[in-house]
């Protein structure tokens, strides 16, 4: 069994750009002030602590992608190595996170930041237009989207570094006392919150079918992205609480308050446009690039209608899936639902796929021993178990925290999410029965033959 044939057009620099763009999003701009209120001036230390569990997650992803580089790894790995049901539920949860969370959240948040420069900017119309631009960029080919991504990531990094380096001469030592106003507990709570800002690079496992020399470039890209992003986050956090009292940063709710201490006029506008706006738009672009890949494998498995996986004959892109995702996301934006709901579903959708992927990583050595031994990068010894178990526990705990937090706004979000998952399980068993009836083989027998090519 093989998946859809996609063009291998992405080299190391392109996938690093995708990972950086996916990771540095609205999180660092929205969560830094909140985390500063929890940890005080130690917020930049919280970013370092938050990176530790992410290292476990990404080491596990790197090991899987080096041994079995493929397209749609978020579904393909667990469906072949662990459980087809859990794999389907993971992607089903990711889907609700995309169309009711990530895409509307990023588009609306970008509009909010730009309204600080242009107060009359129409939020809904701009959000729909922004989403449409990147939908079209990805519709006309991954090369176009990748070139746009690289250009935007370069500007994004320059904007963040101009903020970080430009703010160093304005750091006031007095703002770092007391360093831990809320104790170690506040620091750890902030670290847990900031974990979300580090997520995103894991999406590289969705692009294996479009990456040149994937066994080498996929793990190497993670080894570049994680230190780079963590360094930028630490610098951003340090400046945020170094140029203004942490309480003022928390009260402002965004980084523009701290930036305005030393940034003026065009410089401040560049930070908002090249920093906040591009951090969000690179995430939108990257998400379009990776969002359809696991769904393509679902269709090739017979677990979704085949027409959804139609590839455009000229551009080589999954145009039906892209159009469906864009269309539902636009409807969600037009409904003008609470942005808190978008944020919750985006985080849950991004985390739920880790559960089956981490378990499948623990099955790799047993189920695919030859590929594991030949992999240019592999986890050995205790790390083979520690990394995926740590990632699994992080994901489960974070999802539980998010679902509990949603109850503070009522039970509508919790009921909708649980109902969505139950519907997904029911759909899986209906489609599974149909597939087994047509093939005359069990779903596990069918998927066990996959050579990951």
Which CATH number covers residue 272? 1.20.1740.10
Tally of domains in the chain? 1
Q: Binning pLDDT at 50, 70 and 90, where does residue 111 land? A: confident
Residue 188: how many other CB atoms lie within 10 Å? 15
Transcribe 112-174 into DSSP letters. Answer: HHHTTT-TT--HHHHHHHHHHHHHHHHHT-HHHHHHHHHHHHHHHHHHHHHHHHHHGGG--GG
Q: State residue 89's pLDDT score.
A: 93
Evaluate if residue 9 carries a pLDDT over 60.
no
Token pair in block for residue 312: 């455009």
Evaluate if residue 110 carries a pLDDT over 50.
yes
Token pair in block for residue 215: 């066994």
Q: Binning pLDDT at 50, 70 and 90, where does residue 122 land? A: very high
State how far the Cα of 164 lies from the Cα of 46, in Å rounded to an integer: 17
Evaluate if residue 26 carries a pLDDT over 70.
no
Q: Binning pLDDT at 50, 70 and 90, where does residue 124 land? A: very high
Task: Answer whether residue 4 is part of any domain.
Answer: no
For residue 202, the Cα-to-chain-centroid distance in whole angstroms is 7
Q: Which candidate, 10, 19, 15, 9, places its Cα nearest to that of 57?
A: 19
What helix, strand, coil percent values describe the chain, rounded to 5?
80, 0, 20
Task: Answer whether residue 400 is part of any domain.
Answer: yes
Indicate the range of 1-15, 130-144, 227-241, 373-387 predicted with least confidence: 1-15
State how far the Cα of 384 lies from the Cα of 56, in Å rounded to an integer: 10
Mean pLDDT score of the chain: 83
CB distance 18 to 145 below 8 Å: no
State how far the Cα of 424 lies from the Cα of 435, in Å rounded to an integer: 16
Evaluate if residue 427 carries a pLDDT over 80.
yes
Q: State residue 426's pLDDT score.
A: 95
The length of the chain is: 453
Evaluate if residue 404 carries a pLDDT over 90.
no
Task: Answer whether residue 392 is part of any domain.
Answer: yes
User: Phi/psi of residue 262, each to 5°?
Assistant: -125, -10
User: Phi/psi of residue 15, each to 5°?
Assistant: -75, -30
CB distance 297 to 288 below 8 Å: no
Task: Answer whether residue 450 is part of any domain.
Answer: no
Residue 75 CB contacts under 8 Å (≥ 6 apart), including other chains: 87, 88, 90, 91, 294, 295, 297, 298
Average pLDDT for residues 351-363, to the nearest whole number?
Answer: 91
Evaluate if residue 2 carries a pLDDT over 50.
no
Evaluate if residue 224 carries a pLDDT over 50.
yes
Share of the chain above pLDDT 70, in %: 91
User: Phi/psi of residue 71, each to 5°?
Assistant: -90, 145
Task: Answer whether residue 3 is part of any domain.
Answer: no
384-414 in b/e burial notation, b at 16+ Cβ within 10 A?
beebbbbbbebbeebbeebeeebeeeeeebb
Q: Binning pLDDT at 50, 70 and 90, where does residue 202 land? A: low
Task: Answer whether residue 5 is part of any domain.
Answer: no
Q: State residue 215's pLDDT score.
A: 64
Q: State residue 362's pLDDT score.
A: 95
Q: State residue 46's pLDDT score.
A: 92
For residue 354, the Cα-to-chain-centroid distance in whole angstroms is 11
Task: Answer whether residue 410 is part of any domain.
Answer: yes
Evaluate if residue 146 carries a pLDDT over 70.
no
252: part of which helix (H) or strand (E)?
helix 246-252
Q: Which candidate, 322, 357, 432, 224, places its Cα nearest to that of 6?
A: 322
Evaluate if residue 366 carries a pLDDT over 80.
yes
CB distance 50 to 32 below 8 Å: no
Higher model confidence: residue 293 or residue 177?
A: 177
For residue 25, the Cα-to-chain-centroid distance in whole angstroms is 9
Q: Binning pLDDT at 50, 70 and 90, where does residue 205 land? A: low
Question: 40-62, pLDDT tens digit by residue?
Answer: 899 999 999 888 878 888 888 88
Q: State residue 6's pLDDT score.
A: 47
- Domain that residue 414 falls in: 12-444
Average pLDDT for residues 350-357, to the nearest whole number?
Answer: 87
Q: Binning pLDDT at 50, 70 and 90, where does residue 421 land? A: very high
Task: Answer whether residue 453 is part of any domain.
Answer: no
357: part of which helix (H) or strand (E)?
helix 354-367
Evaluate if residue 175 carries a pLDDT over 70.
yes
């Amino acid at each position: 069994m093989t998946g859809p044939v996609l063009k291998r057009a992405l080299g190391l620099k392109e996938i690093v750009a995708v990972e950086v763009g996916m990771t540095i999003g609205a999180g660092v701009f929205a969560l830094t002030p909140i985390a500063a209120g929890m940890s005080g001036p130690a917020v930049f230390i919280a970013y370092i602590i938050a990176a530790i569990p992410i290292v476990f997650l990404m080491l596990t992803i790197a090991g899987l992608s080096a041994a079995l580089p493929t397209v749609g790894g978020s579904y393909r790995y667990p469906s072949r190595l662990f459980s087809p049901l859990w794999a389907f539920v993971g992607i089903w949860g990711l889907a609700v996170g995309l169309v009711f969370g990530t895409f509307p959240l990023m588009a609306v948040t970008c509009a909010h930041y730009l309204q600080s420069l242009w107060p009359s900017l129409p939020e809904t119309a701009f959000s729909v237009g922004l989403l449409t631009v990147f939908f079209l960029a990805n519709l006309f080919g991954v090369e176009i989207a990748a070139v746009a991504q690289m250009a935007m990531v370069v500007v994004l990094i320059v904007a963040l570094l101009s903020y970080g380096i430009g703010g160093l001469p304005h750091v006031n030592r007095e703002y770092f006392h007391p360093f831990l106003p809320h104790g170690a507990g506040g620091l750890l709570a902030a670290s847990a919150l900031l974990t979300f800002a580090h997520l995103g690079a894991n999406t590289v496992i969705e692009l294996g079918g479009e990456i040149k020399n994937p066994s080498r470039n996929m793990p190497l890209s993670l080894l570049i992205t994680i230190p780079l992003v963590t360094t930028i986050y630490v610098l951003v956090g340090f400046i945020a609480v170094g140029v203004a009292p942490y309480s003022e940063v928390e009260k402002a709710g965004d980084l523009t308050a701290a930036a305005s201490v030393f940034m003026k006029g065009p410089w401040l506008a560049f930070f908002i446009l090249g920093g906040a706006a591009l951090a969000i738009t690179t995430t939108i672009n990257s998400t379009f690039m990776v969002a359809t890949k696991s769904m393509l494998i679902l269709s090739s498995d017979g677990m979704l209608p085949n027409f959804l996986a139609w590839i455009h004959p000229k551009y080589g892109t999954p145009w039906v899936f892209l159009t469906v995702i864009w269309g539902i996301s636009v409807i969600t934006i037009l409904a003008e639902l609470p942005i808190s709901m978008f944020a919750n579903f985006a985080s849950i959708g991004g985390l739920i796929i880790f559960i089956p992927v981490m378990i499948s990583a623990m099955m790799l050595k047993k189920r695919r021993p030859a590929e594991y031994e030949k992999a240019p990068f592999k986890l050995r010894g205790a790390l083979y178990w520690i990394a995926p178990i740590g990632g699994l526990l992080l994901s489960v705990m974070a999802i539980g925290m998010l679902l509990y937090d949603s109850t503070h706004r009522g039970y509508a979000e919790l009921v909708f999410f649980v109902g969505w998952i139950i519907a997904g399980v029911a759909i899986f068993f209906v489609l599974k029965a149909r597939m087994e009836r047509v093939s005359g083989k069990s779903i596990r027998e069918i998927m066990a033959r996959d050579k990951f090519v």
